[in-house]
Structure 1
Amino acid sequence: MDTRLTLSGITKRYPSVVANDGIDLNVLPGEIHSILGENGAGKSTLMKIIYGSVKPDAGRVFWNGREVNIANPAEARKLGIAMVFQHFSLFDTLTVAENIALGLPKDTKLDELSRRIETTARQYGLDLEPQRHVHTLSVGECQRVEIVRALLAKPQLLILDEPTSVLTPQAVEKLFETLRKLASEGCSILYISHKLDEIRALCDKCTVMRGGKVTGICDPRQETASSLSRMMIGADPPAIKAVDRLPGERMLSLRNLSLEKSHPFGTSLEGISLDLHAGEIVGVAGVSGNGQQELLAALSGEDPRAQAGMIVLRDEPIGRMNAARRRQRGLGFVPEERLGRGAVPDLSLAQNILLSHQNPSTVSRGLIRFGALHDLAASIIGRFKVKAPGPQATAGSLSGGNLQKYIVGREVMRNPRVLIVAQPTWGVDVGAAAQIRAELVALRDAGCALLVVSEELDELFEISDRLVVIAKGRMSPSIKRTHATVDLIGQWMSGLWETPAPARQEVANA
């Protein structure tokens, strides 16, 4: 069978690293082919070369048996290559339909395009509103826009980077059915995911990368999650042992938190009540766009519209306080958006310390202590094994997973009393994810109270002591992790919950 895509000896060098070192790759028509590797292994660079957004220093690219020079993404799209990037390329001030129209012919009619978007979104189980402005979307909803934009092109090769982080378990299976149907019709799929069980369930072939080189090719259906992990990082990720514990003092209380949506496409919060105790992790599950963004803004202080008593931090009403005052009282926060909110792309890692560490050790009498920033950044890089040239590297130069490790590390190093974390391991490889989760658990064991908002159910089941679900701006009862099941939480994510029997419920303020 002729190959759809062949890469031969692809090499890409940057001043401090060889991102791709003589990569060979063959993808057949109708093949679902996984690219597996830890953060910084060179996967994203290779995908950008295929899509024409990065030019290789050496090597050859063959498309349907013919050698091609893909100079830019427009040429890639003409060939029939579509890609969903991990970091999105959307304009905040435009609507979903307007963003998608940018890659289409000038005579495209927006009303007709909106109907196509709605039809495609329904077909693939993705909830999307074409008239909604991008700046009102969560990270997960932005990912849906990118997926639908790619699918509208009816590509011969579809590159997907972490596509299931926005979906319920039920919707994941529906997407897999669609991808299998696409493959049966001859579309080739390059699938990048750190969810090893997904790769084993979906993909026909797997190419493993480490340090910019191909280190193995296998049939993932014949492998275990452990064997794939060993191929990728050289070892099994450390397991986190679940230990039942008595909760400590009440650190954070949400008391009938209700907020009208701040924009027409937002989600109103309705009567959310929850107590968070020292020494516990409460996991918040839910499909993106169901109020997580609004809840995080209310908790962090970005949205201070709540009544003061609706949010109580260690017996002090903080609902009207801004983010800086909340940080001074021991609240830490990791936003879901790495670039733009979690870090300033063009500033160095050392300078980005100032986003959360503004205290006498870093700022004295109005003067920035650059040496202290440098030392703290270096300690985070070392402790969290961040792949970066050093504290002076810009945040935007890091891979997504390494930047996530740095941002989480920056907050952990503050030793917060309460830590709010959004999507802690989104797009992070299995080894780095295990490290981040272990750090969060260690913080819990040291007495911190953590609220973790994640769309990764496996992650929440691994680290949480209790689970709640947010759906349509409402919060479910809390349930002990040991009493919860994936099916139950998946059902609750659709807003279908009833008050559990007392024996199965761990009420938040018990």
Structure 2
Amino acid sequence: MPDTSQPRLQLNGITKQYPGCLANDRIDLTINAGEIHALLGENGAGKSTLMKIIYGVTQPDAGEIRWEGQPVVMRDPAQARERGIGMVFQHFSLFETLSVAENVALALGAAAGTPKQLESKIRDVSQRYGMPLEPHRLVHSLSIGERQRVEIVRCLMQDIKLLILDEPTSVLTPQEADDLFAVLRRLAAEGCSVLFISHKLNEVRALCEAATVLRGGRVSGDCIPAECSDLDLARLMVGDAEGLEAEYPKATGGAPFLQVASLSWHNADPFGVSLEQIMLEVRAGEIVGIAGVAGNGQDELLALLSGEQRLARNQGAHIRFLDSPVAHLAPDARRRQGMTFVPAERLGHGAVPEMSLADNGLLTAFQQDGMVQSGLIRHSRVEAFARRIIETFAVKTPGTHTPARSLSGGNLQKFILGREILQQPKLLIAAHPTWGVDVGAAAAIHRALIELRDAGAAILVISEDLEELFQISDRIGALSHGRLSPLQPTAATSATDVGRWMAGQFDHPTTTAA
């Protein structure tokens, strides 16, 4: 029988060595029953490795795991789940060709019932937690935010004693995050332990009773978040907090670079979102931010702007770049004109997981720096470009031949963003640029975007992080059910205004937003 007087989970001296990287160096961590405990650290600090060890995905080289007072070996995730451990990974572990119910059934096992039998419970649980899901929908038709909901809900359907959440609010609105926090507090009150990983320090201070901070694979400190400021926590994470609280002056854009006029598009997917009369203008030397709850048309708008979804040639004028119609052009043709893109999903969309960083750099920048000449790849230039990304954006990686999948989320994001910025675009469109990124990396990404803006580029940022949008955007709007609010100067706009727009409380503009 478990000893309930003992900690729920105790790690002693956990060590994990990879070639060229000591990911975890003698880490100690204790989580009590009913405690909400934060694990903090910059990208590459060893958090993900430690979580995988707890969940049985990875085996430690040294150290001991004690579960409810007893030493255990977590051989695999199935054994971890049997003990009552549930985990939501930052990078989703869903089968895209299966439905929501089928994915949940696979995770819970045959004893939980068939997908058909689980449908009503999925609806009940998702509605109760403020994350509505339709069990019949195929995962590939879901937005990033909706996929996150599936991950969270399938864990909450288990009889869990420890719930591990890796960046669970990255694609939630503040209201949705508050609803999730209410659920987590209720779970904790019932005795469930929660290990909460987040780079949103205000969330950690509001929710967590204790925190353990990692830096460079080691524990750099323990603290009570409520007794610390964001800056105190940031210093524990990155050592030097210089530049983390930067305030950027707002800019007034120049000539229109991107113009979207009366763009309506019918989505044939019954679970997708159709766009209605989108009016949008992004000018040289400005950042335009678009807010919105996941699943309100962000993916569809990005697909149309990037060329992944094209219109007929006679509809090309609905999207104009440098006053030329582009809505009918393929992505590579748009790139040749000076457009670059950072998609919402890093692995599989922004980067090919199995390919090296050098090859991933080549994928979108092959028209740059003479990397391809007469149909032949000049590998020395490809390597040089990848090294320049790594050095300029402080990407933590053993080298240019490292597979993309082996990087932490934040470091991969810095690489993808750096790859697009170093192409010196006239227009950069970025979705969720700092999703799951630590405070140091987020500050670096924001500085890079501001520098690109100040060099005269037009930038469109689509994000569900209102704090980020208010910090870097010069003008701001919101998507709701496929409709875009008029854009307003950020300095003259409040979070309450944007919240109303996100709920659809706005009038359609009659002309291109100014």
TM-score per shorter chain, which class? over 0.9
What are the equivalent positions in structure 2 for 1:85-164 lying under 5 Å apart? 85-106=89-110, 108-164=113-169
Residue 291 (structure 2) pairs with residue 282 (structure 1) = no
Partner of 2:302: 296
Task: Name the aligned partner's letter for residue 327 of structure 1.
Answer: R
Residue 362 (structure 2) pairs with residue 357 (structure 1) = no
Please, which of 203, 210, 216 is the counterpart of residue 215 of structure 2? 210
Please, which of 305, 308, 317 is the counterpart of residue 325 of structure 2? 317
What are the equivalent positions in structure 2 for 1:257-272 lying under 5 Å apart? 257-272=263-278
Partner of 1:47: 51
Partner of 2:430: 421
Task: Name the aligned partner's letter for residue 25 of structure 1.
Answer: L
Q: CA deviation at 1:235?
A: 2.1
Task: Name the aligned partner's letter for residue 372 of structure 2.
Answer: V
Partner of 1:250: 256
SS of match in other structure, 2:156: helix
Q: Summarize deviations over 1:403-448 as a string: whole Å, max 9, x none.
A: 0000000000000001100110101000000000110011001100
Greater mean deviation of Cα atoms: 46-55 or 167-176 = 167-176
Q: CA deviation at 1:178?
A: 1.1
Greater mean deviation of Cα atoms: 243-252 or 383-392 = 243-252
Partner of 1:69: 73
Q: CA deviation at 1:356?
A: 1.1
Q: CA deviation at 1:498?
A: 4.6
Partner of 1:192: 197
CA distance in 1, matches of 2:282, 2:454: 14
Q: CA deviation at 1:111?
A: 2.7
Partner of 2:397: 388
- Answer whether contact 1:6 1:26 (CA < 8 A) is retained: yes
Greater mean deviation of Cα atoms: 13-22 or 349-358 = 349-358
Residue 483 (structure 2) pairs with residue 474 (structure 1) = yes
Partner of 1:305: 311
SS of match in other structure, 1:297: helix
Partner of 2:379: 370
Q: CA deviation at 1:106?
A: 2.3
Structure 2 unaligned blocks of 5 or more:
none
Identity over the aligned pairs, expressed in percent?
Answer: 53
Q: CA deviation at 1:243?
A: 2.0
- Answer whether contact 2:250 2:491 (CA < 8 A) is retained: no
- Answer whether contact 1:200 1:220 (CA < 8 A) is retained: yes
SS of match in other structure, 1:356: helix
Task: Name the aligned partner's letter for residue 80 of structure 1.
Answer: G
CA distance in 1, matches of 2:235, 2:512: 39
- Answer whether contact 1:240 1:463 (CA < 8 A) is retained: no
Partner of 1:450: 459
Q: CA RMSD in A?
A: 1.5
Greater mean deviation of Cα atoms: 137-146 or 414-423 = 137-146
- Answer whether contact 1:261 1:268 (CA < 8 A) is retained: yes
Partner of 1:503: none
- Answer whether contact 1:168 1:493 (CA < 8 A) is retained: no
CA distance in 2, matches of 1:349, 1:374: 9
Alpha-carbon distance change, 235 to 111 in structure 1, aligned in 2, over 3 angstroms = same
Please, which of 81, 88, 106 is the counterpart of residue 84 of structure 1? 88
Task: Name the aligned partner's letter for residue 123 of structure 2.
Answer: E
Task: Name the aligned partner's letter for residue 33 of structure 1.
Answer: H
Task: Name the aligned partner's letter for residue 269 of structure 1.
Answer: L
CA distance in 1, matches of 2:451, 2:480: 29
What are the equivalent positions in structure 2 for 1:161-172 lying under 5 Å apart? 161-172=166-177
Greater mean deviation of Cα atoms: 117-126 or 367-376 = 117-126
Q: CA deviation at 1:245?
A: 3.0
Partner of 1:37: 41
- Answer whether contact 2:7 2:69 (CA < 8 A) is retained: yes
Q: CA deviation at 1:309?
A: 1.0
- Answer whether contact 1:478 1:507 (CA < 8 A) is retained: no
Task: Name the aligned partner's letter for residue 303 of structure 2.
Answer: A
- Answer whether contact 1:144 1:166 (CA < 8 A) is retained: no
Greater mean deviation of Cα atoms: 317-326 or 98-107 = 98-107
Q: CA deviation at 1:508?
A: 5.4
SS of match in other structure, 2:108: coil
Task: Name the aligned partner's letter for residue 496 of structure 2.
Answer: D
- TM (norm. structure 2) is 0.96
Task: Name the aligned partner's letter for residue 311 of structure 1.
Answer: I
Task: Name the aligned partner's letter for residue 207 of structure 2.
Answer: L
SS of match in other structure, 1:102: helix
Please, which of 261, 266, 279 is the counterpart of residue 273 of structure 1? 279
- TM (norm. structure 1) is 0.97
Greater mean deviation of Cα atoms: 15-24 or 356-365 = 356-365
Please, which of 474, 486, 510 is the counterpart of residue 465 of structure 1? 474
CA distance in 2, matches of 1:498, 1:31: 46
- Answer whether contact 2:356 2:404 (CA < 8 A) is retained: yes
CA distance in 2, matches of 1:225, 1:246: 30
Q: Summarize deviations over 1:105-157 as a string: whole Å, max 9, x none.
A: 32613233111111111111113221111111222211111000110103110
Residue 332 (structure 2) pairs with residue 327 (structure 1) = no
Task: Name the aligned partner's letter for residue 78 of structure 1.
Answer: E
Please, which of 194, 218, 224 is the counterpart of residue 219 of structure 1? 224
Task: Name the aligned partner's letter for residue 386 of structure 2.
Answer: A
Q: CA deviation at 1:263?
A: 1.7
Please, which of 6, 10, 20 is the counterpart of residue 16 of structure 1? 20
Alpha-carbon distance change, 105 to 391 in structure 1, aligned in 2, over 3 angstroms = closer
Structure 1 unaligned blocks of 5 or more:
501-505
Partner of 1:345: 353
CA distance in 1, matches of 2:386, 2:507: 47
